[in-house]
Amino acid sequence: MVTSKLLVAGVLALDDLKTPYRSEKRIVGGAGIYSSISSSIFTETALVAAIGNDFPKAIMEKIENHAINTQSVKNLNYPTFHWSGEYTGDMSQAITHETDFQINEHYDWEISSEQKNSNLLLLCNNDPNIQSKVLKQVNSDLIAMDTMNLWIDITKEKLEEVVKQVDLLFINDAEAQLYVGEDNLDKAGKKLLRKGPKYVIIKRGERGSSLYSSKITKHLSAFKVSNFIDPTGAGDSFAGAVMGYLSGVSEFNEDNMIKAMNYGSAVASITVEGFGTESIMNVTKKEVEKRFSILSGGPGRI
């Protein structure tokens, strides 16, 4: 088995999802699927995750049809990770009703020997204790992680340990403010850099994204979406696309980070135009390139 260029460690889930426009039960979700599908547009991707005895075989086939290596996806005789929640109003924040994490009690996040030397690693939003387990197994040139307010609130000390060990931190605007206790986003970004990463990317939803490093502060626009359906997975798609693009560059620097972020915004804009994974599952490189061209100042930019 060939080592993939990018290893994505993230949850696969079955979600109950409700928006003002639609409601569905037991649909596929989780950061792992959004990030790996998005990264596979650009690079050879492997996924490490667990699925339960209730996870549809048809979905695994769809994942594999995107040429994603699933050797490190373990099938366990327990229910798949489950999330139930909804979006209301402007859909800027999800309301969580229920989560079922029990599969994590029976899963060690073991990575196959072939994937331990993947060039890049993306630690999707997860318990920092799990992120640490994965981190200890790999030897990658660029390591990135995502997190959320839950882990900042309940396990900040462990989160700090993991953040110190990564090169790139993805975090959204509200979480960045919460993490460092700073309302000004530029100040928050610089404070986050002092925690260890070489780069910090703050995701700002429809307002775009911001890059922070020792050399630069750069604000990028989001792609203007005309048919906004569901924000679920947008941030995970963004991170997956960023890492997918970076796996093909010869140097990790600010210029390439900016290009990667424009690709991330292009892919995220496609994700939100469908319910759940419906749009991202059918994404084409041609459409991504079209939106990237607009975002980066090419033909079609207004």
Q: Give a yes or no: residue 156 inside a domain.
A: yes
Predicted local confidence at residue 298, as pLDDT: 59
Return the CATH number at 165: 3.40.1190.20
Predicted local confidence at residue 222, as pLDDT: 97
CA distance 188 to 123: 21
Q: Give a yes or no: residue 282 inside a domain.
A: yes
Domain span including residue 61: 6-295
- Number of compact structural domains in the chain: 1
CA distance 5 to 69: 11
CA distance 205 to 243: 18
Which segments of the chain does DSSP mark as H helices, in order? 31-39, 57-65, 128-135, 149-154, 156-163, 173-180, 185-193, 234-246, 254-271, 285-295
Predicted local confidence at residue 157, as pLDDT: 98
Predicted local confidence at residue 156, as pLDDT: 97
CA distance 99 to 113: 31
Q: Give a yes or no: residue 139 inside a domain.
A: yes
H-helix or E-strand containing 221?
none
What CA–CA distances, in Å, run from 173 to 101, 162, 225, 252, 289?
Answer: 26, 19, 20, 24, 26
Question: What's the whole-model pTM score?
Answer: 0.96
Q: Give a yes or no: residue 1 inside a domain.
A: no
Q: What are phi and psi of 301, to 5 degrees?
A: -70, 135
Q: Give Cβ neighbours of residue 138 (< 8 Å, ≥ 6 apart).
A: 7, 111, 115, 116, 117, 118, 121
Q: Give a yes or no: residue 115 inside a domain.
A: yes
Collect the ranges in the chain with pLDDT lower than 70.
Answer: 1-2, 298-302
Q: Please state, as a whole number, how many other Cβ atoms lie within 10 Å of the Cβ of residue 105.
A: 7
